Amino acid sequence: MPGKTTQSTNVYIALPPSGKGAAVLVLHAWWGLNDFFKGFCDRLAAEGFVAFAPDLFEGQVANTIAGAKRLRDKPKLEPTDKTLIRVIEQAINHTAVQGTTIGVVGFSMGGYWALWLSQHPELPIGATVTFYGVRAGDYTSSQAAFLGHFAEKDDWVSDSAFKKLKASLKTAGKVAEFFVYEDTSHWFFESDRVDAYNSNAADLAWERTLEFLRKHLTK
């Protein structure tokens, strides 16, 4: 069972049973910080990580695509980039966190932001996991290794965008592994998306994510 979970400065924090562990930043999809993403943090904590999930939508969640679009586009009290950097600093200085690098796991919109963070070498990101989120660009100075989980049929991620991300990382010479899951669509990992959830693919992606984080995060 995971350790104590707390709500602090709009960040959901899940502690492992030992009370200590490597830090993982969890970035929710455009649905907001709902119960699924909090549960994902708890699962990471049960595996020995200290999970931090910033609430990028200031307490609001959506259940429909139209509602999620409104949340994404609504002006924020604090710009998303500043929120993420602030939470990384909080994680680094948290008494429960061990190690000199942190992991980032992002879902869709959160995957885009996870990749954005990883392009900044001043941030101590050692491992980046994106679930169906893409962002091309210059990764030359990134400190991270990369893992990507993508759907076979995805109306939200074009083949060209996927290829540009892979090419960006290859050009930068980064450690990067990508998996495309058969018979899946966008949001296949999220059990509360009943129209997209694929339990077999989700279970496999979870195991691969754990193995990757354990390999690339320092103790």
Q: What is the pTM of this model?
A: 0.94
CB contact set of 119 (below 8 Å; sequence gap of 6+): 135, 137, 138, 139, 141, 142
**Domain segments of the chain as ranges:** 5-216
The pLDDT assigned to 12 comes to 95
Find the farthest-apart pair of alpha carbons in the chain and give their distance in angstroms, rounded.
44
Element (H, E) at 86: helix 80-92
The pLDDT assigned to 3 comes to 39
The pLDDT assigned to 77 comes to 79
Structure tokens at 68: 């999620």
pLDDT < 70 positions in the chain: 1-9, 219
The pLDDT assigned to 5 comes to 44
Helices (DSSP H) in 95-198: which residue ranges? 109-118, 159-172
Q: How far apart are the first and last CA of the chain?
A: 21
The pLDDT assigned to 187 comes to 96
Structural fold of domain 5-216? Rossmann fold (3.40.50)
The pLDDT assigned to 1 comes to 45
